[in-house]
Structure 1
């Protein structure tokens, strides 16, 4: 099968961690024998990048003549793919694209057009599926839930001592880790305050963002900054508990990756994590309840290390299996066209 991959997020030299979940599924599809051409944005920011993506989509569709177009994000990538050619379209909704459809009438109309043109729509969680249907009711008949999956070989239990030596982190007491942007949505300030109530341990933030100055200089809190995606498993292994108490998390890939590494997690109840954080693997928390978050840190710190329940729960989301499910959807779309 000839697949044209369209995405507004894809790893590149200047942004190696951008859209790694897209590249992971692509590798699995290529490994299953499919030929893939790309029209992608592989950098952050910059004027005209979506105009360039539109040109790239149209040009590649003409030259490659795909059997099916597989787009990530409803708008703009899915919309541009919908307008670029006649090949059947499958599009995955990831989160912000659906949120934008709720807040902007123009985006909602663009989303409706992309959904209308698509043969199938994939949502990365049941929570996100329901949110999309609220914005675009006609999507209900086309949606299937398939998450991005986790690479169980890359994200696997490893020596904590070796990991701590590798990242230069030798915490006194329980080691908590938060991975992601230092932003309001990631709830990093409330997490920091809840951690400070514990009076022991250390909390490291891997990532960067506008709230970095508000976190800087706090006792027992380390700001590691952004790290390459290949180094994320090492940071997870160096920790005892991984925290992602976001105000909303459409899926929660960092949480799933931590579980695959055998780490207990503290995760938000809002979004995708309740579907995969099994009992014993971690603690789900109301992200706006600071007292509950502080209690969740203590509860998660008491769970086993390494956490076999977390690893077992993550194995059900093996990226290879998720790629098989995506492949089935793409093949069905291509067959429908030939029929």
Structure 2
């Protein structure tokens, strides 16, 4: 079975975390199923776009695109990348150059069939641009296609006009043979537009995010990771820390990530004080780590006592799952994805934006950390989200779609 993967987001040297969960899914399918080949169609879809609002970034993007060459490479057993460069920009302007993106994917498609023979199914990740491209190719070559929707909140504002979903997104979802939502919350958001879907979560790379024994000393270390923005809840986090450290000065917070609000929140952290002596908690209780690579992220997960991210919206929430796979309890908000897997035995859920509740959860999880045994946290989460478990769900859906087509 040849599966043609079209990811809207994909990791690159410049943006190594963009769509990493999509690549991990492809690798898992190739690993566990010898009769499956996955061909990943790339065009420069590494989570970066030509951004006319920031002119200084336009030239480097254009240079990288010019230097980018078509290539074919095997990244793991039975998983291949086919790259055909094309420019991409915001969907608000000329539909994001979708015609060029479609042509690039068609070239990858034709090269795939020439090298491996007939493609059996197209699997797009995110409804635009990947889902739109899948719809066009499926019609042209008479093939079934699946869309896994990751977009959150759904839909993003560029795809919503007068409270209606734009055809660029709606049509591919309506015509797909199957739509997969990565969480129950996203499934409900899709249904608001009368789009039926099946929930299949993202998988966790358990061979990378491994259990590490927890050390509990006088200080209790929290780790947080994400784009430093209001949407990810970092303003709430800073205010909550200011409350929590007044109750327990041994709470330490290590915050990883860059973003548009980094300097703003660093300044806020310096303005807020721990105690009457006026010690800025930025010097004592908070450490801003900046952008982290994969190895640094793993180290932080394994050496923290708990993970926290009070996000305002998550279609799924991979960082929470990565923490749980390392055996760490988490504090999350009721913001979409985390409600599917954060439970009383592995962490705490609080309402988003409730700063007092977030602060209380910090203190509570430290005081009750023995109620969250790391090995058990990891074991339980892998029963539902391991590479083998989730890839089997996907393969079963592939077989179902293929059988319906053959009837």
- 1:205 corresponds in structure 2 to 255
Q: With the length of structure 1 as denominator, give the TM-score of the two structures.
A: 0.89
Deviation per CA, 1:203-249: give whole Å up to 9, x if none: 11111111101222532221111112243221111211101211111
* 2:341 paired with 1:285: no
TM-score by length of 2: 0.75
Following TM superposition, by how much is the alpha carbon of 1:159 offset from its aligned partner in structure 2, in angstroms? 4.6
The match for 1:227 among 292, 316, 326 is 292
Quote the Cα distance in structure 1 between the aligned partners of 2:261 and 2:218: 25
Counterpart position of 2:106:
58
Partner of 1:122: 180
Deviation for aligned residue 1:103: 6.0
* Aligned counterparts, 1:42-81, within 5 A: 42-46=46-50, 48-49=87-88, 51=97, 52-65=100-113, 66-81=119-134
Asked if structure 1 preserves the Cα contact closer than 8 Å seen for 2:152 and 2:314, the reply is no
Partner of 2:396: 328
Matched, 1:151 2:205: yes
Aligned to 1:242: 307
| Equivalent in 181, 190, 199 of residue 227 of structure 2 | 181
- Name the CA shift for 1:102/1:131 in 2 (closer, same or farther; >3 Å): farther
Does residue 301 in structure 1 map to residue 366 in structure 2?
yes
- Offset at 1:182? 0.6
- The offset of 1:46, in angstroms, is 2.4
- Does the aligned pair in 2 maintain the 1:278–1:310 contact within 8 Å? no
Write out per-residue CA displacement over residues 109-163 of structure 1, whole angstroms, 9 at most, x where no aligned residue. Answer: 22221122211110001110000110x20x22xx1100011122211212557xx
Larger gyration radius, structure 1 or structure 2: 2
Specify whether residues 180 and 4 from structure 1 end up closer, same or farther in structure 2 by C-alpha distance, changes over 3 A only: same
* Correspondence 1:5-154 to 2 at 5 A: 5-31=5-31, 32-33=33-34, 34-40=36-42, 41-46=45-50, 48-49=87-88, 51=97, 52-65=100-113, 66-85=119-138, 86-96=142-152, 98-100=154-156, 104-105=160-161, 107-134=165-192, 136-137=193-194, 139-140=195-196, 143-154=197-208
**Count, aligned residues:** 327
Counterpart Cα distance in 2 of 1:296 and 1:153: 30
Q: Name the residue aligned to 2:62.
A: none
In 2, distance between residues paired with 1:285 and 1:236? 21
2-side partners of 1:94 and 1:310: how far apart? 25
How far apart, CA to CA, are the structure 2 residues paired with 1:154 and 1:280? Answer: 23
Give the CA deviation at 1:263. 0.7
Unaligned runs of 5+ in 1: 162-170
Aligned to 2:273: none
Q: Give 1:164's aligned residue.
A: none
Aligned equivalents of 2:312, 2:171: Cα separation in 1: 29
Bigger relative contact order, structure 1 or 2 (CA pairs below 8 A, ≥6 apart): 1
- Per-residue deviation, residues 18-48 of structure 1 (Å, max 9, x unmatched): 1110011000111112112221312522263
Partner residue in 2 for 1:168: none
Change (3 A) 1:289 1:239: same
Please state how far the C-alpha of 1:195 moved relative to its aligned partner: 1.1
RMSD: 2.2
Shift of 1:107: 4.8
Partner Cα distance (2:324, 2:365) in 1: 12
SS at match of 2:336: coil
Q: Deviations over 1:25-84 (max 9, x none)?
A: 000111112112221312522263254532222222233241100110011211111112
